[in-house]
Every structure is written in structure tokens, then in C-alpha cells.
Structure 1
Amino acid sequence: MPKSITPPRSIQGPAIFLAQFAGDEAPFNTLPGIAKWAADLGYKGVQIPTFDGRLFDLDKAAESQTYCDEVKGICADAGVKITELSTHLQGQLVAVHPAYDLAFDAFAPKPVHGNPKARTEWATEQVKKAARATRNLGLDTTVSFTGSLAFPYLYPWPQRPAGLIEEAFAELGRRWRPILDTYEDQGVDIGFEIHPGEDVFDGATYEMFLESVGGHKRARINYDPSHFLLQQLDYLSFIDIYHEHICAFHVKDAEFNPDGRQGVYSGYQSWVNRAGRFRSLGDGQVDFAAIFSKLTQYGYRGWAVLEWECCIKSPEQGAAEGAPYIASHLIEVTGKAFDDFAGGEMDMAAIRTMLGISK
């Protein structure tokens, strides 16, 4: 029989996360308008924020197959597919430390402002609804945040009391386990964006969270290397370690330029003056050629989704440049070994002779 290899699967794309582009002016204030805008720029997929009612009605999508079919039809007519639903803001509100209550109330409806318990209950139901909506759309992946209870205690001065971190993650597990069970019922994964500000901000904390939810198979990773570069974490080795858990991919660039005045913590400076800052694709320091190669090698078959948060370049220019940038990094996977031309049929007798093995 001829020799063969099992080729890795190709990454899908380019796609774009619509959250940072939605607005009150056309074409950014309706799903038909923004989907066509994205398609005209060369995007093949759109990641839809479920927290923006101008683009998507999560409550209706969770209950109505007809509505979901209409949403799919709108995107198909524009020339794009839906990659995932995002519940970043609602996921954030599943767990909020009291220090952030006032700031994060802005992400929730007014009836639950000033009522952390009611806000958490609302957010929990929202994330559960996204599981049902995702299934109604015929998808199997969403993206979200874990929220945070321990992050204000990140830097241990004064020293954290024994058990504080353990209890924070135990509580995260108590809040997320019922949500993840809903996702299991629907056959849907959550790709948690590993992000400073969340309690799950690197590989070690992801492992702690995974342990807190009993190793739940639906608790997976939305890989975004920009957050790792700003922490000075090895984002390529991260793929080696956690590739089996990665179910989504945000393509976002960043740069880190420490000096004698500031480093990782960036001295409370504005985004444009920070040592670490987000940039448009190609303007930062992330090695996307290596990332796309490594993800392809490990068989990642999901979407490559642009997330734009540049502190200098306009969103319009960033979006226009993003589609060709991602397209240029997509790898057409080979089905052959490089030396197939020198191969031939397997001959066991010849093999044994080559090895000096007698019959």
C-alpha cells in the first residue's frame, strides 16, 4: 500500500467580530447592513454579539427557530456565514467583584442596576439562552468571558489570606457548572477568552477553572494571542499545551514596548501611551505566520475572526486591511508528504532486508 499522511484541517476565514463596528449609523446599525459591509470587504464569516439588540435578538433566538432561520438567511444573502455567537458582556456579569459593580452595571439592563444578585441571575440566563440560540442556528461554538471574583487580588500585597483564591474559583465553578450543563444538553461549546481582568487570564488559571467545573468538556478556549503578548506569555507554547481545548480564534495584534518608566502594568497610562497596547493586524508584534502554522498543524478547523481594538488606526481602515491579512495567512493544507515522489509500494521483504532482519 502507498504511504500516506493524515493531513490537518484548514482554518476557515477570514471572519470579523462585529461588536466593535456596530453603531447607530448605516450600515452598522442593522444586521443586513453590517453583514453586507463585511462581505464587501472580503470577509466570509461574522461573529455576532448577542448583547447588541441592533443586530440580534437573543431572547427571540433562544425560542424561535423561524427567527434563527431568518438571521441565517440575512447573512447568507449578504455572502457571509455566522461563525459564533458572543456573550462576552453577559459572561462577564456571571461573576463580578463588588469593586466593579458600578462600572459593570452599564452592561446590564436598568432593572437590575444596583442589585448584584439580580444582575448575576440575568446574566446566567442570558448565557444559557445563547446555548439554545446557537443550536437553533446550527452552530456548535460560542465565545464568552468567565467574569472575575479574585482579580482585584492579583498582586499579593498585602499577602492574600490562605484559601481566598481557592474559594474564588470554587464559586466560579458553582456559578458556571449549571451553565455548562445547559451547553452540554445543546451540544455546544463555550470558548472562554483568556483575558486579564477575568479570573481566567492564562493557562494556569484556565486549569484552575477547568478543575472547578469538574473538567467539563464544554469549557474550552477562545484563543487570542494579543492578551498573551501583553502579559509576556509564550503564545506559541500555549497552543502546544492547550490545542485540544481551543475551539475559537480571535485574530488581534498587539505590541509591548517596555522602557525605564513602565512595563507590563503600564503605569495607569491611556491606551496610546501604554507600553502594552492593541494594534491593527500587521502593525503589532504577534507572529501570526507561526500561529496559523501551529493551529493548522494541530488540526484547528474553526474560524479565524478579526477582533479590532487598535489604539491608533481607525476601525474602518483596520477592517479593510484585516480581511486580506487573514486570507494571506490561511494555509491550504497538503494531502501529500514532500517526498511522495520518491515513494513506492510497501515491500515487507525489502524492508526486512534493509533492516538486516532474517526471515
Structure 2
Amino acid sequence: MRTIKGPGIFLAQFAGDAPPFNTLESIADWAAALGYKGIQIPSWDARLFDLEKAAESQIYCDEIRGMLADKGLAITELSTHLQGQLVAVHPAYDAQFDAFAAPHVRGDPRVRQAWAVDQLKKAAVASRRLGLTTHASFSGALAWPYFYPWPQRPAGLVEDAFDELARRWRPILDHFDANGVDIAYEIHPGEDLHDGITFEMFLDRVGNHPRANILYDPSHFVLQQLDYLAFIDIYHPRIKAFHVKDAEFRPNGRSGVYGGYQPWVERAGRFRSLGDGQIDFGQIFAKMAAYDFSGWAVLEWECALKHPEAGAAEGAPFIARHIIPVTDHAFDDFAAGGADRALNARLMGIAERALRTQPVAQSIS
């Protein structure tokens, strides 16, 4: 087993035009002073990162890594959440998602999609140059407007949508594979990959591609009432990234999972700062340790109530307290007596020769 790395912090919710949040170096100083050891960088934010330059220049990437290392920081992953969203956009969301793209491709869905694909491919190269093996993104969505089966969906609509989603992502996944980097899709409402079933539908269509993996964020499962602990048991081989984000779900006689079109503060399900919600992070970190998750525990701060800087300050010690330094031996090894076939045979009342024909099983502890 390996100890989870962390604490890390996703910079997207903190980047801004005022110091210390307006340059990578100054926001890195801020994060390091709070106790973070890693930063997840939003690749679309030019105030912090130049994706084009990172894809072209090893010198640029080495300079970033060196600057961060001097502050005691590492890059956990690059993120293309916004660009990944634009790989697949249903026409109903064209206007809303257009702002995610560079100004010169807005207003033309086909050109915008080609730009997004190019951004993902650049992110694969940049990740390799930065020495990263995992990348965080969204899948985008073609079927999401039809998630509730009323009116009745035409036969084959969802299947066709997932066929097209896989067709768009397969060459991107191949490009990431050529660069030795996994894509970790954040399983998230609004994306076609929003739960285990939809991830499996996609995975089947991309031929169980080894680079198609999961960014695990339990907050999104609380809001849709999915068992976030059982999810780890089922999908742990594909979990390559981890957002540590809290949430609560308090339904009442007037509102539930769908939220009644209310603002975040009023919704039955809402995001909270770490420790203020309902998620059992003790069990999550225990499962991650048991399943040998070797990536980073990264704070993604989103809270309907608390100030972001307060949430960030509380997040680093919260994550540090939950990281389990894994053991390299079993707690009862002091009592081990070694393999003794004769003793085993006497204890079970069988002939020793019956055991001699069987190999000694290796301990999994």
C-alpha cells in the first residue's frame, strides 16, 4: 500500500485579478503558507498558466516545476474541465457554454469543438512535459437534457448519444495514451458521465480504454443520493484523481434532489466546506488507502455559506488529518510463527503429506 499524497488544492475557485490570486507564483506562495503540498492547475486560466507554451516548451515546464519546488509544492494534475465540457455540447447549452471557449471560436459550435479537442491534446503533451501521469477533465454531454425519462425518449437516443461521445473522445484518449497520461473524468451532474452506469456505458464504447479513468468527488454523489463508499469498492481500479469536497443533503416536504430551481443556499443538496457537510471522509480515506490509491487528495472548495479563504485555510489541516500513513507490515506480525507444515497438519488432524503437495500461499497483508 502507498500513502496518499497531499494536501493539494485546486486553484480554479481561487484565481482572480487581485494579488495574491493573479499569478501562479503568488498564489503558490499563498497555498504553501496554508500548508498545501500540491496544486491542481486550471489550464484555461492564462493568469496562472500558458497551455500553448507548456505544450511546446520543455524549458517553460521545467521553470514552473522548479519555481514550485522551491516553495515546497508539486503539480498534482492539470485540469481541462472547461475545454473537456466543450468536446460535447448539446445545442440547448450552446449559449451558456460558449463563454468557456476562447473568444475567436465562440458562436460556431463546430469550430469551438475542434478548438476544445486541440486544447485536450495540448494538455496531454504539457502533462508529459511536467512529469504528470494523470489529467483532470469533464466528458461533456449530448444526452443530459434527457436524463429524466419524460417525455418518453425515442428508442436508441441515449445509445446514439454515447456512441457519438465515444467517437469524439477515442482519438483524444489515444493521444493521452501516446503521452503516458490518464484522463480522469470528474463524474458530475451535467456531464453524460455522471454516475457509475454512465461511466460503464462510455467505457464499453471506447473499448475499455486504459486511459479512460475517474476523478472521484463524493460531493456529487451525495447530491444525487448515490452510495459514495460503494462506488470506491466498485470502481477503485479506475479512480486516478480525488477531489476532497464536502456536501449535505437535507430534503424536506418542499424540495429534494432536483432542488426546485432554487439558489444553492436554499437547495436540499448543497456543497459545504470540509467538515461542515455530511460526508464520512474517514471511511473514504480508509478505502483509498486499502485500495492503494497513489494519487493526490486535492481540495476543491465550493461552499454555499463560507468565505473561500476560510475554507482554504481549514482545508489543508483537514486533509492532512485524514491522510493515513500506511503500514508496511501487519499489526500482528509480532505473533507470527512462520510456516510449519507439520504443525498445520496436527492442528487440522490431517496427514502432513497432504499439505506437502500444496504451495504455501503468500500473505496479502
TM-score bucket of the superposed structures, by smaller chain: over 0.9
**Could you say which residue in structure 1 is the equivalent of 2:153?**
160
Shift of 1:57: 0.3
Answer with 344-353 or 86-95: which moved more: 344-353
Please show how residues 83-98 of structure 1 align to structure 2 within 5 Å.
83-98=76-91
Which one of the candidate residues 183, 188, 192 is aligned to 1:190?
183
SS in 1 for 2:270: strand
**Could you say which residue in structure 1 is the equivalent of 2:228?**
235
Q: After superposition, what is the alpha-carbon deviation per residue over 1:87-114, rounded to whole angstroms, capped at 9, x for unaligned?
A: 0000000000001001111011111111
SS in 2 for 1:85: strand
- Give the aligned CA root-mean-square deviation in angstroms: 0.7
**Could you say which residue in structure 1 is the equivalent of 2:103?**
110
SS in 2 for 1:82: strand
Answer with 268-277 or 69-78: which moved more: 69-78
TM-score by length of 2: 0.95
Q: After superposition, what is the alpha-carbon deviation per residue over 1:255-286, rounded to whole angstroms, capped at 9, x for unaligned?
A: 00000000000000001010000000000001
* Aligned residues of 1:36 and 1:79 also touching (Cα < 8 A): no
1:78 is aligned to 2:71 = yes
**Could you say which residue in structure 2 is the equivalent of 1:354?**
347
Answer with 208-217 or 348-357: which moved more: 348-357
Aligned equivalents of 1:79, 1:345: Cα separation in 2: 44
Shift of 1:45: 0.4
Structure 2 runs not aligned, ≥5 long: 353-365
* Aligned residues of 1:31 and 1:74 also touching (Cα < 8 A): no
Paired letter, 1:240: D
Aligned equivalents of 1:110, 1:169: Cα separation in 2: 29
Please show how residues 1-359 of structure 1 align to structure 2 within 5 Å.
8-359=1-352
Aligned equivalents of 2:67, 2:86: Cα separation in 1: 30
Paired letter, 2:165: L
Shift of 1:358: 1.7
Higher relative contact order (CA 8 A, sep 6+): 1
Aligned equivalents of 1:345, 1:273: Cα separation in 2: 61
Paired letter, 2:177: E
Aligned equivalents of 2:112, 2:80: Cα separation in 1: 15
Structure 1 runs not aligned, ≥5 long: 1-7
Paired letter, 2:315: G
Shift of 1:30: 0.4
Q: Sequence identity, in percent?
A: 68
Aligned equivalents of 1:243, 1:25: Cα separation in 2: 39
Shift of 1:345: 2.6
Aligned equivalents of 2:93, 2:71: Cα separation in 1: 39
What is the number of equivalent residue pairs in this alignment? 352
SS in 1 for 2:126: helix
